[in-house]
Amino acid sequence: MFPVPTRIRIRVGGAALACAAALPLASCAMASPTEVEAVSDRTSASCGLFFDDFDYGGPTDPALRDQGWNVRSWAGGPGVPGASWDADNVSFTEEGGDSVLRLTSTTDGTPAGTSQAELAFGEEKFHEGTYAAKVRFADTPVSGEDGDTVLQTFYTITPLAHDNDPDYSELDFEYLPNSGWGAPAEAMYLTSYHTYQRDPWKADNTSDVVDRSFEGWRDLVVQVEDGLVRYYVDTHLVAEHGGKYYPSSPMSINFNQWFVDMSGHTGGPSTYVQDVDWVYHQQGESVAPEEVNRRVGGQRNAGVSRVDGVVPGGAC
């Protein structure tokens, strides 16, 4: 049994069916006895699991907010001061039969002409365990001249209550396809934060940098367990952090694409795209990258579009 309701969405005969694991199975309309049994089998293994394959109709789809996601449309950092974050920059598209989250960001080299994209989970409830996402990074824009210091990310974060807040936590995959932050060319930053202060900016973090292209689909995994944070890209361990950089509090899960500055821009408007196929979290368990892919495949083969069985502040 689940200590809290768990949202699960499955497909039955091509139709969408939403159930709550805490409700009697008889309340799941449209399902035959065989289908109800299949739902029961899946929910019994879902406590502590968060999975979303981004099967949504668009940024205003009610199911998106029901699952806990917020599409950013408010101003502020990070990124170029004066740039906007537009809800229409978050969309969903079909590729190879799968639904894909798409973040689209555009700049003409001015703050007023710069539009960025972010999808954020609205609750900080993810702490120890395994985080993973399949992300497609792009080294060049889909239109316009190349060269902008665009940043493509998958990260977890706790809001900063005040400068040097000791309860702050942040874990980052940050890809710069056109240099930036001192990198000579393409670079992936793997960064874990203890805390920071806003003004003047001073970060207490540790970071590893891999200087090469990561264009294309990449499997990103971070394990948070027993005082260590381990970052993997395509099953390869690329960074390991610990000590005070180990997360001290629950975090949210986020994706965004923004511009560090305007220094590399030339010509007219340039548009960049970052895609995300799925996102996964298993609470309280260090899951090997190869096993993450197997489990995600199992969810998809079973017709599961999204699950949220994470228990805030607890364990199953």
- State pLDDT tens for residues 35-80: 333 333 434 468 899 999 999 999 999 999 999 999 999 999 999 9
pLDDT tens sequence across 96-154: 889 999 999 999 999 999 999 999 999 999 999 999 999 999 999 999 999 999 999 99
Helix (H, G, I), strand (E, B) or coil at 142: coil
pLDDT at residue 5 above 70?
A: no
Cα separation values, 221 from 167, 209, 243, Å: 23, 16, 20
159 residue type, one letter: P
Cα separation values, 255 from 130, 233, 248, Å: 16, 16, 21
Q: Note the pLDDT of residue 313.
A: 80
Closest CA to 48 of 129, 134, 157: 129
Residue 46 or residue 243, greater confidence:
243
Domain extents in the chain:
50-308
Average pLDDT over residues 6-20: 34
Provide the pLDDT confidence category of residue 315 given band limits of 50, 70 and 90. low
Asked if residue 126 lies in contact with residue 310, where contact means CB atoms within 8 angstroms, the answer is yes
pLDDT at residue 21 above 60?
A: no
Q: For the chain, what's the residue count?
A: 316
Q: Which CATH architecture has domain 50-308?
A: Sandwich (2.60)
* 8/67 Cα distance (integer angstroms): 9
